[in-house]
Amino acid sequence: MHQVTVLHRDEDCIVVDKPSGMVVHPGLANDAVDLLRVVRSIAARRVFPAHRLDRGASGCVVFALHEAAASALGRAFAEGRVEKRYLALTRGHPPEEGVIEHPIERVPGGPKVPAVTRYRRLGVAGRYALVEAVPVTGRLHQIRRHLKHLSCPLIGDVKYGKGEHNRLFRTEYGLHRLALHALELCFPHPRDGALLTVRAPVTGELESCLGALGLRDAVPA
């Protein structure tokens, strides 16, 4: 079973570091293991996922531990009071910083709606770049699609990326995953509204890859 690390836990919520390759909800995937069931086992109680994270991505995911907390977290996400900070390794160099405004559908096949992502370039290595992305809205595959819109697709992205670069990173750097990590989550605590910031360290294949590229020190402290 995938190792799931608890980053924060109190009587109202639990934040965990989702491994790459694990789905958050059972859904249509019908995987033998999913994050919801793993966290339910860790917490030994019913849990309520407050948001989603792509299967291929890793990092911070928060679950409420009771219905009142689930309602409070749901409102915070819906009202844009949650900041999610991601690391993405791209093929190509985006500008040093900027805002991407490019419509994306909320669900597959749905109408396109406004979508906004702030970003800044943290470092470069040859043809590749490490990017910090902060989605202002929450749309389907938003960061992956927005960076592709800049002609800087993510490494390891089989849907929106480039196969030759994905293969190169598998063979040269041992990276067999999507290069997207939810580094930090900042949200109002469901009990008193005080801001809580939780960080998931970069580990495993992604950390090794960034080290080999000389980009490990570019990760924000």
Partners of 101 in beta bridges:
116
Q: Which of 17, 34, 54, 157 is catalytic?
A: 54
Q: Name which of 11, 3, 54, 12 is nearest 33 in CA terms.
A: 3
Q: Is 54 a catalytic residue?
A: yes
Q: What share of the chain is helix, strand, coil (3-state, %, to 5)?
A: 25, 30, 45
Cα(29)–Cα(32) distance, integer angstroms: 9
Cα within 13 Å of Cα(35), Cβ side: 31
Beta strands 83-91 and 13-18: pairing type?
A: unpaired
Coil/strand/helix, residue 162:
coil
Q: Which positions are annotated as active-site residues? A: 54
